[in-house]
Structure 1
Amino acid sequence: MTQDGCIRRFAGIAGQWPDRIAIVEHDSAVSYGRLAGLAGGHAARLLDAGVRPGEFVGLLTGHGTGAIAAILGTLAAGCTYVPLDPTFPRDRLAHQVAAARVSAVLTIPEHASLAEALCRSTSARVVATGPDTAPLPVPDPDPDAPAYVLFTSGSTGTPKAVAQTHRNLLHVVDNQIATLGITADDRLSLLASFGFDAAIPDLYPALLTGAAVVPVDVRAHGVAHAARELARHGVTVYHSTPTVYRHLLDALDGDLPSVQTVLLGGEQATYADVRRGRFAPDCVYVNGYGATEVTFAAQYRLTAADVPAGATGPLPIGTALPGYTLTVLDGGELEVSGEYLVDGYFDQPGPAFGTTADGVRSYRTGDLGELRPDGTVVCLGRLDRQVKVRGFRVELTEIEACLGELPGVAEARAIVRDGELLAYVVPAGQPDVTALRAALADVLPGHSVPSAVVAVPAFPLTVTGKLDEEALPDPRPPAPVAAGPMTAAQRRVHAIWVAVLGHDGFGTEDAFFDVGGHSLLLGRVQQRLATEAGVDVPLLALLEHPTVAAQAAYLEPATEDGPRAAPAEAEEDEPGSDLIAVVGLACRFPGAPDADAFWWNLCAGADAVHDYTDDELAALGIGPGLRADPAYVRAGGRLDGVEDFDAGFFGFTAEEAARTDPQHRLFLETAWRALEDAGRDPAREHGPVGVFTSAGVNRYFLFHLFGNPAVTGDVDPDDWEGRLLGRQLTDHLPGQVAYRLGLTGPAVAVQSACSSSLAAVGLAAQSLAEYRCDLAIAGGVSVTWPRYRAGGLASADG
């Protein structure tokens, strides 16, 4: 790659082809020679105003020719440009001016007052643009000096400044030129604001090859205007976010056969996006991946003919571009590394990004990725799109994927607002949102079914062209349903539902969960029935009676001064039945605190095994001889929160908890969670409940308690059995669980080496089949503990 600066390469193109068209905007065209003169005029104004090479210049301009000339002029003056979007709030612009250490603001007359206001609190000066031209200076900047400063979107907090160097900029541009095959005959769309990195792969590849760029301000003129402009000017390379792309397709009056390449980025693109394309028959679709911190680092290319039949979901982001490496880390997070990355944010002291084991700069993107067998990577969305709703882990992209496969849905988005799970769809036809929600309930667990599905004509956009979640409307409450004649009990239950749900859009036969209810709100119904009707109703009874009519019928004997009906007895299986159901599940693994996270790791191919350094092994008590043994495996899973235990909840004293094998504590907690997941209370079971356990070797006792006077010094040797050993032996685990949870069925400890947990499940199933118990808990636990050495150096913390 040449190390000539952008201005030197642009000046070479302008000198070679001064009459060639560089910019096509509205009904006018600007030649390379004219653009070079305008850029030279801006450079002269900056230098005449006392701006020195190396300083940072804010650009408060529009979107078209004037902005492009200002960018080139600032670089030609040897300065770093900082785009300032005049549509942004003034406070945000002021933050950018301060964070980027702007010393001058180059502005058009229209925004002069805003520029003055931004500079008033700093030492920055205002420099006005003008139509005059001048020879274009051609500096030779330091490749490691910043060419521009852009700001992150601020979606995770305050926007952060990223100063990309001339070296990195040119590398990105040359990658785009090479991978997209851009030539002087191309015309590239330019829809993104210059304040966002999406403008980089449009502007510079055009101006450094002799091609033309077609800028269109989508925010000012709309997508329909953009569609007409792109068709009128024969754009051959189209680039935008997938959301803008979908709006564009909806706005097209016909096909765009001039478009040979479509580049999508900034959001998740899908196979459906490729199928909908209305461009040249052999159009190449490119799914690009990057961030403000790295610009473009990976690409995936295909044509419409390459889309597999029936393929749905996100397009892969492919493989890394030259100069970058794309890695899926153990937790599933995508990491970009390479020599063309900055080492941190400009406005934050010290390196904020990391380095690989080889010392190469790296950036953890916060995106979740999956490595496919063919070596390509699929971006599964943001890690922060795994949310907790009412204590349940919910994957928003899963909801969106399920909605997107339903008939009548063109686009879908799931969000959490004020603790409520909501879904929004752009219809393709006339879908019934109630039916859509019902369809989700058929394929998703209850906690993943949105409280409401809202249809909107189109998704609102942010200034970056991405979907604006904040602008999505709140769901409208259902229309009131005329209530027919109701009994006194029905009126009481109906009034409580209205108070809890906040609307009266339901009848006596509508299910609570179908009209906006969820488990937490059902708990409020239970509370109100107790306080307002004087009836303590088990939550399970409310679940089994989900309508106003059913709950009223359940309550009527108690509320009409009659004897209360006894709860129905649990149905028994037919004699000889061998059907056994798994009704609850709970687990804890390294990198997965619950079953949902474990399943996600399996689907994503995430590896939760940790490779230990020599220092870490030493801190865990592994001696130098073993560490030096080439046969020693220096890897293992790390389980978080092992030391946490709610002793009081399970009736332990602090002393008992400290002297209990943590494996016992973990099994006890997880057994309780499994019962919660099943919705089964052992105290309410009619028949016996069994427990079948397996546990690993108790290293906690061997390496921590035994010989540790701080823990065992006050235990009489004659009382070890009662106060110590009974909480350590694997054989005592099932009895401990049965005692603490009040279980009355078989309590069996299982040991069969590596198959112990499976054997426990098998014995539990056998016990159920033989009617030895009606409900069984089965599982295993294995946790290795670091060694304790009093006063020794083998453990960093004793």
Structure 2
Amino acid sequence: MDGLTLCPYELKYKTAKFDLTMHAEEKGEELQFTWEYSTALFERETVERWAGHWLRLLKQVTENPDVRLGDIDLLTETEKDQLFKTFNSTKADYPENKTIQQLFEEQAERTPDHIAIAFKDRTLTYRELNKRANRLAHALRRRGVQPNDVIGLMMERSPDMIIGILGILKSGAAFVPVDPDYPAQRIRLMIEDSSASIFVAQSHLAERLPSAVTMIEADSSAMRNESEDNPAAVNEPEHFFYVIYTSGTTGKPKGVMLNHRNFVNLIHFQLTKTDVDFSHAVLQYATFNFDASYHEIFSTLLSGGRLQLITKEQRTDVNELLGIIEDNRIQVLFLPPSFLKFVFQNKDYAERFPACVRHIACAGEQLVVTAEMKKALCEKQITLHNYYGPSETHVVTTLTMKPGDLIDDFPAIGKPISNTRIYLLNDSKKPVPIGVDGELYIAGDSVGPGYMNQAQLTAEKFEADPFHSGGSMYQTGDLARWLPDGNIKYIGRIDHQIKIRGYRIELDEIEQRLLAHEAVKEAAVIVRADAAGDKTLCAYYTAKLPVGTDELRGHLASALPAYMLPSFLTELERMPVTANGKLNRKALPEPKHLAGATYVEPSTATEAQLAVLWQETLGLDRVGADDHFFELGGHSLKAMNLVARIHQELDTEVPLRELFRHPTVRELAAWIEANGSASPYAAIQPAPRNIKRKGD
């Protein structure tokens, strides 16, 4: 090769042979370590942190060869400062010496003629709402109500609910919301545990309460003679604000207590440290037995905004709900992630989503942001907020994603709110470095007092803060990791607690209820997710006596709320176990989608069309005329999806409540033929297409 000249060339860049390699070689009296890593996977700062941890490990092991691995402290002093002083630098002033009702009274004085709540064709100004709550408060005071007393609250969604909440707080007591749709046994357990001898309730719900309970109507004619003046304050910020009952591991619900200071800190953060404007119109969407509802209510009422109430039926009817949001120019929404995903996955709902909405806050479960959601949020200029916090503390971290931001499919849960500290600890309760999974602990002014009448459980979950003198911290059972920018990434649970459609569920409670049936020998409950990420409760049991699934469903429904009822009940000859004899949950079989005992061919065109839609919604090969939607694995979100499909394909508006009332193909088809009508939004919906049965 004439003219070719060879000369040495030193490669400036190298290609890593593996994702991560550490080389060690002797250099005289020293050991030299070299890290080689793939830059497509790791940042230089990450590897540098690991190198520092490696040196810390070597130093501690050589100084103390008998040290337990869990006791080794990997953090450098610089990292400790970053975790404790930078990421948790949340100290901020707030009205810590005031109660929620005092702050409301101040707002009512500032904006007496502003509309505070709206419901159907009824509105109440701040002046009117304050006066009616005062009447109730004085009536409760005359009955001897004291601070830290717990007053029951059983209401359907209405202005009376808000009057009841404020009236109880103004009396100095705390409230415990009791859903009138709960089974009688669960209502009784909540009343007994909370010792609520007085209930503020609507008269038509009196039959749901024990005879020993004193019932008071929030806004009855009997209240007209009570004083409308603000009652003198008798409670302090450390007194109870509410007791909310959540699923418990013992087979019984447990009462989570929060005090006024906890809630005042959250609301003050919401109103002063975020860009959400609550002084306009806010939708009250969450159920009253879910803590998010009080975030909605008091963020609005303490800023002079208008709280738009909706009925139970409107809450689950997406078409009507979107219409209410549009008609009332709602700017702020709190929605469960699964419901938000459902709305934006449906093209028609996404296109109709009102342009007036400026902020959507999600809480209660892992937020998953699909491509459709990202597109809609950007086009409609909506800011998305991811909130995280268990009932024991309410919201403790937030992440804000503005239009045009690069949003992860699984966004972080954000950074700590004001006066709140987050610790990620290993099994030895030592802080873990950035990027390493640890259990999430919460400390600071967000931590509540604990559980009602459960001193042992409170002592197990709430303990002294080892990093901050005089404080306490709550052990969440959640796994998370710090990101380099100070945000926190949620990983999952370390136990059997799960979140489904915004509800917190202890699987142990469902299992204990199954085992309470005399025919059940063993029980196990797990969660399965389909390809779309939709979660379903699946129960398995072995029997010591013959028992049918219908009987077991009734047994569960007599004590558990609807959201805790398994979609599938599967009998097994024996439970799968691991080599050491423990239940092998991963080996539990896929549940069978059981149709009725006898397949009945659809006999009308409407029945045939509905059967096909049910098949597609539930992922089944065949659905008969007498098959029951909810016994085939259907739940509330799938029900909304089915109603939407019926609307699209049959051009017929079916309120969700009618599916619950007519849960078989035959029953719903008959209702549609007798009552079905075109949707008020039919003009902007796509024309229906002909539906053929699978196999035709």
- State the TM-score, normalized to the length of structure 2: 0.55
Q: 3-state SS of the aligned residue for 1:291?
A: coil
Q: Deviations over 1:386-434 (max 9, x none)?
A: 999xxxxxxx99x85xx65xxxx4x4336654289xxxxxxxxxxxxxx
Once the two structures are superposed, what CA deviation does each residue of 1:677-732 show, in whole Å capped at 9, x if it has no partner?
xxxxxxxxxxxxxxxxxxxxxxxxxxxxxxxxxxxxxxxxxxxxxxxxxxxxxxxx
**2:208 is the counterpart of 1:114:** yes
Cα–Cα, structure 1 residues 219 and 243, in superposed 2: closer, same or farther, change >3 Å?
farther
Q: Which residue of 1 aligns with 2:466?
A: 357
Sort the Cα spacing of 1:73 and 1:416 in 2 relative to 1 into closer, same or farther, 3 A: closer
After superposition, residues 412-431 of structure 1 pair within 5 angstroms as 412-413=534-535, 417-418=539-540
**SS state of the match for residue 384, structure 1?**
coil
Q: Match for 1:64: what amino acid?
A: S
- The yes-or-no answer on 1:227 pairing with 2:322 is yes
Aligned partners of 1:255 and 1:278 also within 8 Å: no
Look up the match of 2:490. Answer: 379
Match of 1:577?
Answer: none
From 161, 182, 204, give the equivalent of 1:88. Answer: 182
Distance of 2:377 and 2:174 partners within structure 1 = 39
2:310 aligns with: 216
Task: Determine if the alignment matches structure 1 residue 317 to structure 2 residue 413.
Answer: yes
- State yes or no: 1:125 paired with 2:214: yes
Match of 1:291 in 2: 390
Deviation of 1:458 (Å): 7.6
Does the aligned pair in 1 maintain the 2:322–2:352 contact within 8 Å?
A: no
**In terms of mean alpha carbon deviation, does 278-287 or 31-40 score higher?**
278-287
Aligned counterpart for 1:243 among listed residues 338, 341, 345: 338
Contact 1:286 1:302 in 2 (8 A): yes
- Secondary structure at 1:287's aligned position in 2? strand
**Corresponding residue number in structure 1 for 2:633:** 473
Q: CA deviation at 1:169?
A: 1.4
Partner of 2:405: 306
**Any conservation in 2 of the 1:21–1:31 contact (CA below 8 Å)?**
yes
SS in 2 for 1:105: strand
Distance 1:238 1:295 in 2: 17
**Do the aligned partners of 1:327 and 1:334 also contact (CA within 8 Å) in 2?**
yes
- Residues 257 and 279, structure 1, Cα contact 8 Å, conserved in 2: no
1:372, distance to aligned residue in structure 2 (A): 2.5
State the Cα deviation string for residues 234-257 of structure 1 (Å, max 9, x = none): 111110211222344444661321
1:457 to 612, 617, 639: 617
Of structures 1 and 2, the one scoring higher in RCO (CA 8 A, sep 6+) is 2
Q: Deviations over 1:4-51 (max 9, x none)?
A: 222222112222221101112223322111111211121133234443
- Specify whether residues 371 and 148 from structure 1 end up closer, same or farther in structure 2 by C-alpha distance, changes over 3 A only: same
- Tell me, yes or no, if the aligned pair for 2:278 and 2:332 is still in contact at 8 Å: no
Check the 8 A contact 2:314/2:321 in 1, yes or no: no
CA contact (8 A) 1:77 1:137 kept: yes
Corresponding letter in the other structure for 2:411: L
Asked whether the 8 Å contact 2:420–2:446 carries over to 1, the reply is: yes
Q: Deviations over 1:106-131 (max 9, x none)?
A: 1111112223x2x53xxx42223315
Flag structure 2 segments of 5+ consecutive residues without an equivalent. Answer: 1-93, 428-437, 499-506, 508-525, 543-585, 594-614, 620-629, 636-696
Superposed displacement of residue 53, structure 1: 4.8
Q: Check the 8 A contact 1:191/1:218 in 2, yes or no.
A: no
Deviations 1:177-235 (A, max 9, x none): 22433446322221112222111210111111101111224466523232222221111
Equivalent pair of 1:255/1:279 in contact (CA under 8 Å): no
Output aligned runs, 1:45-64, within 5 Å: 45-64=139-158
Report which stretch shifted further, 83-92 or 329-338.
329-338
Paired AA for residue 70 in structure 1: G
Residues 236 and 453 (structure 1 numbering): CA distance in 2 closer, same or farther, change over 3 Å? farther
In structure 2, the partner of 1:147 is 241
CA root-mean-square deviation: 3.5
8 A contact 2:157–2:312 mirrored in 1: no
Aligned to 1:258: 356
Letter in 2 for 1:367: D
Whether 2:317 is the aligned partner of 1:207: answer no
Paired with 1:98 and 1:381, the residues of 2 have a C-alpha distance of 33
SS at match of 2:252: coil
Inter-partner Cα distance in structure 1 for 2:274 and 2:454: 35
Contact conserved, 2:259 with 2:449, CA < 8 A, in 1? no
**What do the CA deviations read for 1:505-544 (whole angstroms, capped 9, x no partner)?**
xxxxxxxxxxxxxxxxxxxxxxxxxxxxxxxxxxxxxxxx
In the alignment, the residues of structure 1 paired with residue 111 and residue 536 of structure 2 have an alpha-carbon distance, to the nearest angstrom, of 50
Q: Is the 8 A contact 2:618 2:633 kept in 1?
A: no
Match in the other structure for 1:70: 164
Q: Within 1, Cα distance between the matches of 2:253 and 2:205?
A: 23
1:780-795 alignment runs, 5 A limit: none
Asked if 1:344 is matched to 2:453, the reply is no
Cα displacement (A) at 1:385: 5.8
Distance in 1 of aligned mates of 2:217 and 2:343: 35
- Which of 256, 260, 266 is 1:162 aligned to? 256
Mapping of 1:610-759 within 5 angstroms? none
Q: Any conservation in 1 of the 2:276–2:359 contact (CA below 8 Å)? A: no
Secondary structure at the aligned position of 1:135 is classed as: coil
Deviations 1:454-495 (A, max 9, x none): 777389xxxxxxxxxx977299xxxxxxxxxxxxxxxxxxxx
Distance 1:375 1:8, change over 3 A: closer
The one-letter code matched in structure 1 to 2:424 is: V
Query: In structure 2, how many angstroms separate the alpha carbons of the residues matched to 1:153 and 1:355?
Result: 25
Letter in 2 for 1:144: E
Distance 1:290 1:223 in 2: 28
Q: Which residue of 2 aligns with 1:782?
A: none
Distance 1:371 1:42 in 2: 47
Aligned to 1:193: 287
Partner of 1:59: helix, strand, or coil? strand
Distance 1:180 1:457 in 2: 39
Cα distance in structure 1, aligned partners of 2:486 and 2:157: 39
Conserved in 2, the CA contact under 8 Å of 1:343 and 1:361? no
Rounded Cα–Cα distance in structure 1 between residues aligned with 2:378 and 2:186? 39
SS at 2:269's partner residue? helix
CA contact (8 A) 1:24 1:233 kept: no
Report Cα offsets for 1:539-589 as digits up to 9, x if no partner. Answer: xxxxxxxxxxxxxxxxxxxxxxxxxxxxxxxxxxxxxxxxxxxxxxxxxxx
Secondary structure of 1:335's aligned partner: strand
Q: Which deviates more from structure 2 when the two are superposed, residues 20-29 or residues 218-227?
A: 218-227
Which whole-Å deviations, capped at 9, do the CAs of 1:275-317 have from their partners, x for residues lacking one?
A: 1645874321111001110000011111242235xx43x2210
TM-score norm. by structure 1 comes to 0.48
Deviation at 1:59, TM superposition (A): 1.0
Q: Residue 699 of structure 1 corresponds to which residue in structure 2?
A: none
1:339 Cα deviation after fit = 3.3
- The CA distance in 1 between the partners of 2:634 and 2:311, in whole Å, is 29
Equivalent-residue separation in structure 2 for 1:156 and 1:127 (angstroms)? 32
Percent of counterpart pairs with the same letter?
Answer: 22
In 2, Cα distance between the equivalents of 1:150 and 1:62? 17
Q: Equivalents in 1 of 2:263, 2:215: separation in Å?
A: 27
Q: CA deviation at 1:155?
A: 6.6
Shift of 1:380: 2.2
CA contact (8 A) 1:238 1:262 kept: yes
Judge which range, 338-347 or 139-148, deviates more: 338-347
User: Aligned in 2, Cα 1:37/1:474: closer, same or farther, shift over 3 Å?
Assistant: closer
